[in-house]
């Protein structure tokens, strides 16, 4: 099974085979945010890939539209659109990194 290391939390969780990075992080009870429910509409699930970017599903058109080329080039992905093929290391944004609508309950 592949793993997801969350560098800034110093924690490693299992990636669920066949599921998105978002689902794996939610399943592991990590504090990732979603407003759109995983439909590439909110951008709140963005994570930055620190290692293993080539071991992920390719960037899709939904991610390009939501994040833009500059963020994609800097390693950002939408967790709801990304599937893991091998172990990866990520930065998981904390509340202060996100737009306020992402963290309202």
Residue 105's CB is within 10 A of a number of other CB atoms, namely 2
Query: Between 43 and 52, whose beta carbon lies closer to ligand FES?
Result: 43
Tally the C-alpha atoms within 13 A of residue 5's C-alpha that lie toward its C-beta: 10
User: What is the smallest separation between the CB atom of 71 and ligand FES, expressed in angstroms?
Assistant: 12
Contact between 80 and ligand FES by CB under 6 A: the answer reads yes
Footprint of ligand FES on residues 6-45 (CB under 6 A)? 22, 34-36, 38, 40-45
Contact between 56 and ligand FES by CB under 6 A: the answer reads no
Q: Where does this chain bind ligand FES (CB under 6 A)?
A: 22, 34-36, 38, 40-45, 66, 78, 80
């Amino acid at each position: 099974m592949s793993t997801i290391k969350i560098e800034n939390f110093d924690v490693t969780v299992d990636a669920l085979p066949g599921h998105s990075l978002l689902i794996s992080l939610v399943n592991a009870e990590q504090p990732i945010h979603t407003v759109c429910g995983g439909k590439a509409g909110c951008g709140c699930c963005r994570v930055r890939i620190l290692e293993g970017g080539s071991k992920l599903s390719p960037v899709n058109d939904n991610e390009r539209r939501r994040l833009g080329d500059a963020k994609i080039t800097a390693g950002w992905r939408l967790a709801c659109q990304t599937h893991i093929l091998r172990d990866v290391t990520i930065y998981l944004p904390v509340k202060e990194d996100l737009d306020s609508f992402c963290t309202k309950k």
